[in-house]
Chains A and B, each alone.
Chain A
Amino acid sequence: MLILTCPNCGVTAEETEFHAGGEAHLKRFGPGSSEEEFEGYLFMRSNPKGVHFERWRHAYGCGKWFHVARDTTTLEVFGSYSAQTTEPPQDILDTIEDRRPGWSPAERPA
């Protein structure tokens, strides 16, 4: 069972306080988007073995969403950061580069 730190309230808590929300940094496609764009947005996920950016909600705590960068195989947590961003911040990317040299982000299937 993981422990995560919620960047919104500063609490480090066990996984049972949180609710997982799947892959982070999806771009919404609404009316007017192509079938491919919409399919990609709604259904396609990268599901990497390794570094993953994901959404979590501190459901039993402050109720706020945040992002976590985590390794899906070792469960190492590289850091948590604001939900109000469209991409991982530099300090998180630096930490990942430091711990996983030569790492590159997983592609989402087309």
Chain B
Amino acid sequence: MSTRLATGGRLLNKSRAVDFTFNGRQMRGFEGDTLASALLANDQVLVGRSFKYHRPRGIVAAGPEEPNGLVNLGTDGKFEPNQRVTTTELYDGLTAQSQNHWPSLEFDVGAINKHLSRFLPAGFYYKTFMYPRAFWKYVYEPIIRKSAGLGKAPTDRDVDTYEHFYAFCDVLVIGGGVAGLEAARTAGRSGARVLLLEQTAHWGGRAPVDGGTIDGAPVETYLADIIAELEAMENVRMRNRTMGAGVYDHGYVLGYERLRDHAPDEQGPRHRLWRIRAGHIITATGALERPLSFAGNDIPGVMLASAVRDYVVNHGVSVGDRTVVVTNNDNAYLTAIALKHAGLDVPVILDARVLPQDSELMAQAKALGVRVLMGHGISKVNGTKRVTSVDICSQAGEGAVLESVNCDAVAMSGGWSPVVHLWSHCGGKLRWDTAHACFSPDTDHAPKGADGLGFVTPAGAASGMFALDDVLHDAHAAADGVVTSLGFKLPKDSTAPVAERREDAPMAPVWLMPQGAGVKLREKAWLDYQNDVKVSDVRLAAQEGFVSVEHAKRYTTLGMATDQGKLSNINGLAVLAGTLNAEIPAVGTTTFRPPYHPISMGAIGGEARGPVFQPVRRTPMHDWHDKNGAVWEPVGQWRRPYAYARAGESTHDAVMREVTNTRHKLGLLDASTLGKIIVKGPDAGKFLDMMYTNMMSTLKPGKCRYGLMCSENGFLIDDGVVARIDDDTWLCHTTTGGADRIHGHMEEWLQTEWWDWQVHVANVTEQYAQIAVVGPNARKCLEKLGGMDVSKDALAFMEWADGTLGGFQCRVYRISFSGELSYEIAVDAGQGQAFWDALMVAGNDLGVMPYGTECLHILRAEKGFIMIGDESDGTIIPQDLGLGWAISKKKDDYLGKRAQERSHMTDPNRWKLVGLETTDGSTLPDGAYAVGEGENENGQRNMIGRVTSTYHSPTLDRGIAMGLVLNGPDRMGEVLRFPGTDGKTYEARIVDPVFYDKEGEKQNV
């Protein structure tokens, strides 16, 4: 059984017990435990079920490479699935639930799949769930969804908060093991700004577990000294619990800091996403141990040799009383030695190699009384939910059992692979290291930055250096090279520390154990534990023609689980290469993509959630609208009142009331969102003549003119009223959504095409609160406020004037988008609410009511005024809308003029704007199409028009609409048919788009 030892556990604080539950069972660990070490200390080796066959699975690793130990963590608003037990620090009150089993972890119905495993080979889903097609939706998908999947999706809203942080440094060191620490110290000594990230809570990486002597002192002493030195450096910053998640273009790195995962009840953000821009990145990301592929290598109790060692040394946890070590390298002997030192039994070390003589470590193990069998391996591990024994065989043979050894744990080591992920994310190439049978960074082909030079340098085990002395030298040299390239200088006396060398025997690649394992054994030799991919599956994929590594990956799902193949990748490639009779480097690797280890969606979103998910733009009168029943409508990022609903009133009724009131009495509209752009300079008139289709240079000061803007494609992009302020100044109104866009459009043409023209533009949209005072009582209302003369003679239609009203400094435009007597009045934004209040008071006896955007739409539609975004959609030219009168014939040029001469634009069959009146007074559905005779080449009915705006007009008490119709203006009086999505067909007559006050008498009083 796995248990807590009486001694050991360098990371534990044994005076602090920590209580937690697993599947409802109360358990106890210590401060400093991971959930994995605490589970093992409670003899909970079985932690989950595999994805496909639901086989019992135990903890395999001690770090982020763990494929099996995934749990649902937390409850309610702190619930999160797929959390790795090996990277979860234990805290008081932690609750974990194992995943992927039903009804229970110990007894799982889905495990029947394992008996069907010969029917569920690679590509099973692709081969089986194809026909009949109708089965997909109702049979296959529901079944697959029920039986597949890992953790549960959270049901509650996440109660935690998250944030981003922008950080900059000269040298970013990723990894806080000895290589990272040494590289950071070296870089720090040069004066460069250094940031050092470590994913765990502890500095030093594997070194304290694996031991050694640096500069004549134990590793621990070296670590204490270097950490103190780094902490004292002003130019160095250290962050633990922060993983280098991804390396991107131009030195951009995402760091993932887990601030509260180990202390979820403390105040503050849970995760912080570091958005780092580094001059150069040193990846000191270490290496991962590889499993060995032998039958039964997935049975709980079979673990990586390094993990077994970690649990003993770091957490004082024995994973078994009797541990068989199986290896192809010297490193695993450290595990046997550590276990012996802890007083545990190691019945045998099975070493697949045949060596002429013992290495130092082999001799040490033997001296401790451990039996070592060279040239041997495991034929098969026995047990179901726990290892019970191993069958020993010759590695060179086919698996004939020579001997069985009882044990409750197996520590395996297939060699080490440098963590090249971060090196590779942004294009770093790899080379095959034959001596260590692994891919390591090809430093001649580093990822290239903005200057075309490499910006990532690997150091230590991440660059394929495995001996402690080599690691330290490599880290020092890497940092030296990096700071030199950045223009910093190391002090002359800076040298790498020297570690005592240990002469290890060379490892020997072993991709299948035994090498001649037959199909029965291969079918039980797992490569990918989480996705249930076995040696036999990869071979089958190769035989079926999936010879590209990327294809084989997708066909077998090898490396596609949440661990992204950290353990399985190289072993899988080797099997593929072996089957194809190719060299491993020729087969190549799959692509390493960020993040290195899953990061939370919350961290990616950062602060952008809840009220600050997106900016909401508010006018100066926003709060008043809110208090007075505004039903909000988003218009771009602005919020505008759609209508002001009174108590008990429906939104529709409110809109009808607002229209009627404005037509008969007085309405106020908050028009502050409309864009206001000042255009000034000697060439301003010439410039506006290019911007607008009509002539703006001839506008007289004091006057206003409605104008249209087109893109160079000829399409209508915006409209609005332009006022000429003085000789060289114009003020252009844009649509609500158009202010920033049109300001940018003007700046673009001025800066990039006509840069010699003397014109300045300034976006003053938000300087003003603008209020439309509309209706027959509008003038009376302003006269009540008192001040400037707003009579017809003093301020005629389409004129503007500066003055005061009710003591407010203002600019008044006599313009109308409703057909009524109307003034648009601009005051400084800071006066907006006070002015609005003054108008409400002055208008009190005159029937004043605020109105919203829907009322505005109905008022303009009754008058046949177009709306950008309704009548125009990016494919409409002014000529389509009967706006030929607003296109100057006198100008040689304006933006869009040349495009409007193209054959398609002058085609008489372009759909044109008309009014539409239903024959029965009902309201046409928005966006409905008019059907014509015959069918098109796709067998669909021919369309001859569509509705662009449609409303119930309370003024006319009937439905009115505008639409674009083939030869529309020539077909007045004709009745068109519009099939609705409600099954009804609507009939509407083509009429003039101006429904109300055709002569325009009302606005011109």
User: Are B249 and A84 in contact, CB atoms less than 8 angstroms apart?
Assistant: no
User: Are A65 and B748 in contact, CB atoms less than 8 angstroms apart?
Assistant: yes
Q: Which residue of chain A is the closest to B753 with respect to CB atoms?
A: A28
Q: Which residue of chain B is the closest to A75 with respect to CB atoms?
A: B249
Q: How far is the CA of A2 from the CA of B450 in the complex (A)?
A: 8
Q: Does A45 contact B (CB under 8 A)?
A: no
A53-78 vs B, Cβ < 8 Å mask (1 yes, 0 no): 00101010001110000010011110
User: Are B450 and A29 in contact, CB atoms less than 8 angstroms apart?
Assistant: no
Q: Does A99 contact B (CB under 8 A)?
A: yes
Q: How far is the CA of A71 from the CA of B902 in the complex (A)?
A: 35
Q: How far is the CA of A76 from the CA of B712 in the complex (A)?
A: 32
Question: Which of B248, B251, B277 is packed against the most chain A CB atoms within 10 Å?
Answer: B277
Question: Which of A14, A21, A33 is packed against the most chain B CB atoms within 10 Å?
Answer: A14
State the majority secondary structure of interface residues on A: loop
Q: Which residue of chain B is the closest to A76 with respect to CB atoms?
A: B452
User: Are B893 and A2 in contact, CB atoms less than 8 angstroms apart?
Assistant: no
Instruction: Given the known inter-chain contacts A33-B898, A75-B450, A99-B452, please indicate yes or no for A42 contacting B249, CB distance below 8 A.
Output: no
User: Are A31 and B250 in contact, CB atoms less than 8 angstroms apart?
Assistant: no
User: Are B752 and A65 in contact, CB atoms less than 8 angstroms apart?
Assistant: yes
Q: Does A11 contact B (CB under 8 A)?
A: no
Q: Give residues 1-53 of A contacting B (CB, 8 Å).
A: 1-3, 14, 21, 28-33, 35, 38, 42
User: Are A29 and B748 in contact, CB atoms less than 8 angstroms apart?
Assistant: no
Q: Which residue of chain A is the closest to B892 with respect to CB atoms?
A: A31
User: Are A38 and B250 in contact, CB atoms less than 8 angstroms apart?
Assistant: no
User: Are A31 and B752 in contact, CB atoms less than 8 angstroms apart?
Assistant: no
Q: Which residue of chain B is the closest to A55 with respect to CB atoms?
A: B752
Q: Does B252 contact A (CB under 8 A)?
A: yes
User: Are B751 and A29 in contact, CB atoms less than 8 angstroms apart?
Assistant: no
User: Are A42 and B899 in contact, CB atoms less than 8 angstroms apart?
Assistant: yes
Q: How far is the CA of A60 from the CA of B353 in the complex (A)?
A: 62
Q: Does B451 contact A (CB under 8 A)?
A: yes
Q: How far is the CA of A19 from the CA of B452 in the complex (A)?
A: 22
Q: In the complex, what residues of A have CB within 8 A of residue B449's CB?
A: 76
Instruction: Given the known inter-chain contacts A29-B898, A99-B452, please indicate yes or no for A1 contacting B751, CB distance below 8 A.
Output: no
Looking at the complex, which one of A42, A75, A84 makes contact with B250 (CB distance below 8 Å)? A75
User: Are A38 and B898 in contact, CB atoms less than 8 angstroms apart?
Assistant: yes
Q: In the complex, what residues of A have CB within 8 A of residue B251's CB?
A: 3
B759: min CB distance to chain A, Å: 14
User: Are A83 and B752 in contact, CB atoms less than 8 angstroms apart?
Assistant: yes
Q: How far is the CA of A28 from the CA of B452 in the complex (A)?
A: 33
Instruction: Given the known inter-chain contacts A42-B899, A55-B752, A65-B751, please indicate yes or no for A76 contacting B448, CB distance below 8 A.
Output: yes
Q: In the complex, what residues of B have CB within 8 A of residue A35's CB?
A: 902
Q: Does B42 contact A (CB under 8 A)?
A: no
Question: Which of B748, B751, B899, B901 is packed against the most chain A CB atoms within 10 Å?
Answer: B751
Number of A residues near B (Cβ < 8 Å) is 28
Q: In the complex, what residues of A have CB within 8 A of residue B748's CB?
A: 21, 57, 65
User: Are B450 and A84 in contact, CB atoms less than 8 angstroms apart?
Assistant: no
Looking at the complex, which one of A1, A21, A30, A55 makes contact with B252 (CB distance below 8 Å)? A1
Q: In the complex, what residues of A have CB within 8 A of residue B713's CB?
A: 42
Q: Does B897 contact A (CB under 8 A)?
A: yes
Q: In the complex, what residues of A have CB within 8 A of residue B898's CB?
A: 29-33, 38
User: Are B755 and A1 in contact, CB atoms less than 8 angstroms apart?
Assistant: no
Q: Which residue of chain A is the closest to B897 with respect to CB atoms?
A: A31
User: Are B899 and A84 in contact, CB atoms less than 8 angstroms apart?
Assistant: no
Q: How far is the CA of A33 from the CA of B898 in the complex (A)?
A: 8
Q: Does B633 contact A (CB under 8 A)?
A: no
Q: How far is the CA of A33 from the CA of B901 in the complex (A)?
A: 11
Q: Which residue of chain A is the closest to B748 with respect to CB atoms?
A: A65
Q: How far is the CA of A59 from the CA of B452 in the complex (A)?
A: 26
B424-454 vs A, Cβ < 8 Å mask (1 yes, 0 no): 0000000000000000000000001111100
A33: min CB distance to chain B, Å: 6
B896-919 vs A, Cβ < 8 Å mask (1 yes, 0 no): 011101100000000000000000
Q: In the complex, what residues of B have CB within 8 A of residue A83's CB?
A: 751-752, 755
B601: min CB distance to chain A, Å: 19
Q: Give residues 67-95 of A contacting B (CB, 8 Å).
A: 71, 74-77, 83-84
Q: Does B210 contact A (CB under 8 A)?
A: no
User: Are A14 and B252 in contact, CB atoms less than 8 angstroms apart?
Assistant: yes
Q: Which residue of chain B is the closest to A2 with respect to CB atoms?
A: B250
Q: In the complex, what residues of B have CB within 8 A of residue A32's CB?
A: 898
Q: Does B747 contact A (CB under 8 A)?
A: yes
Q: How far is the CA of A29 from the CA of B901 in the complex (A)?
A: 13
Q: In the complex, what residues of A have CB within 8 A of residue B902's CB?
A: 35, 38
Instruction: Given the known inter-chain contacts A21-B748, A42-B713, please indicate yes or no for A31 contacting B450, CB distance below 8 A.
Output: no
Q: How far is the CA of A35 from the CA of B251 in the complex (A)?
A: 45
Q: In the complex, what residues of A have CB within 8 A of residue B899's CB?
A: 38, 42
Q: How far is the CA of A104 from the CA of B250 in the complex (A)?
A: 25
B1: min CB distance to chain A, Å: 51
User: Are B893 and A31 in contact, CB atoms less than 8 angstroms apart?
Assistant: yes
Q: Give residues 228-283 of B contacting A (CB, 8 Å).
A: 248-252, 277
Q: How far is the CA of A76 from the CA of B451 in the complex (A)?
A: 6
Q: Which residue of chain A is the closest to B749 with respect to CB atoms?
A: A28
Q: In the complex, what residues of A have CB within 8 A of residue B897's CB?
A: 30-31
Q: In the complex, what residues of A have CB within 8 A of residue B752's CB?
A: 21, 55, 65, 83-84
Q: How far is the CA of A30 from the CA of B892 in the complex (A)?
A: 9
User: Are A64 and B751 in contact, CB atoms less than 8 angstroms apart?
Assistant: yes
Q: In the complex, what residues of B have CB within 8 A of residue A71's CB?
A: 452
Looking at the complex, which one of B249, B452, B901 makes contact with A2 (CB distance below 8 Å)? B249
Q: How far is the CA of A33 from the CA of B892 in the complex (A)?
A: 12
Q: In the complex, what residues of B have CB within 8 A of residue A59's CB?
A: 744
Q: In the complex, what residues of B have CB within 8 A of residue A38's CB?
A: 898-899, 902
Q: How far is the CA of A1 from the CA of B485 in the complex (A)?
A: 22
User: Are B452 and A1 in contact, CB atoms less than 8 angstroms apart?
Assistant: no
B455: min CB distance to chain A, Å: 11
Q: Give residues 319-358 of B contacting A (CB, 8 Å).
A: none
A1: min CB distance to chain B, Å: 5
Q: How far is the CA of A76 from the CA of B252 in the complex (A)?
A: 14
Q: How far is the CA of A74 from the CA of B744 in the complex (A)?
A: 30
Q: In the complex, what residues of A have CB within 8 A of residue B249's CB?
A: 1-2, 75
B237: min CB distance to chain A, Å: 20
Q: In the complex, what residues of A have CB within 8 A of residue B747's CB?
A: 63, 65
Q: In the complex, what residues of B have CB within 8 A of residue A33's CB?
A: 898
Q: In the complex, what residues of A have CB within 8 A of residue B248's CB?
A: 1
A79: min CB distance to chain B, Å: 10
Instruction: Given the known inter-chain contacts A31-B898, A55-B752, please indicate yes or no for A42 contacting B450, CB distance below 8 A.
Output: no
Instruction: Given the known inter-chain contacts A30-B898, A38-B898, A77-B450, please indicate yes or no for A3 contacting B751, CB distance below 8 A.
Output: no
A40: min CB distance to chain B, Å: 12
Q: Which residue of chain B is the closest to A78 with respect to CB atoms?
A: B452
Q: In the complex, what residues of A have CB within 8 A of residue B277's CB?
A: 3, 14
Looking at the complex, which one of A30, A57, A63, A99 makes contact with B893 (CB distance below 8 Å)? A30
A18: min CB distance to chain B, Å: 13
Q: How far is the CA of A21 from the CA of B755 in the complex (A)?
A: 17
User: Are B450 and A3 in contact, CB atoms less than 8 angstroms apart?
Assistant: yes
B753: min CB distance to chain A, Å: 6
Q: Give residues 748-765 of B contacting A (CB, 8 Å).
A: 748, 751-753, 755
Q: How far is the CA of A1 from the CA of B748 in the complex (A)?
A: 24
B901: min CB distance to chain A, Å: 7
Q: In the complex, what residues of B have CB within 8 A of residue A55's CB?
A: 752
3 residue pairs, one from A and one from B, having the closest CB atoms: A76-B452, A84-B755, A65-B751
* 29 A-B interface contacts by CB (under 8 A): A1-B248, A1-B249, A1-B252, A2-B450, A3-B277, A28-B753, A29-B898, A31-B898, A31-B901, A33-B898, A35-B902, A42-B712, A42-B899, A59-B744, A63-B747, A65-B747, A65-B748, A65-B751, A65-B752, A71-B452, A75-B450, A76-B452, A77-B451, A83-B751, A83-B752, A83-B755, A84-B751, A84-B752, A84-B755
The residues of B with any CB-CB pair to A shorter than 8 Å are 248-252, 277, 448-452, 712-713, 744, 747-748, 751-753, 755, 892-893, 897-899, 901-902
Known: A57-B744, A57-B748, A84-B752. 13 other contacts (CB 8 A): A1-B249, A2-B249, A3-B252, A3-B277, A28-B712, A30-B893, A31-B897, A42-B713, A55-B752, A74-B452, A75-B249, A76-B448, A77-B450
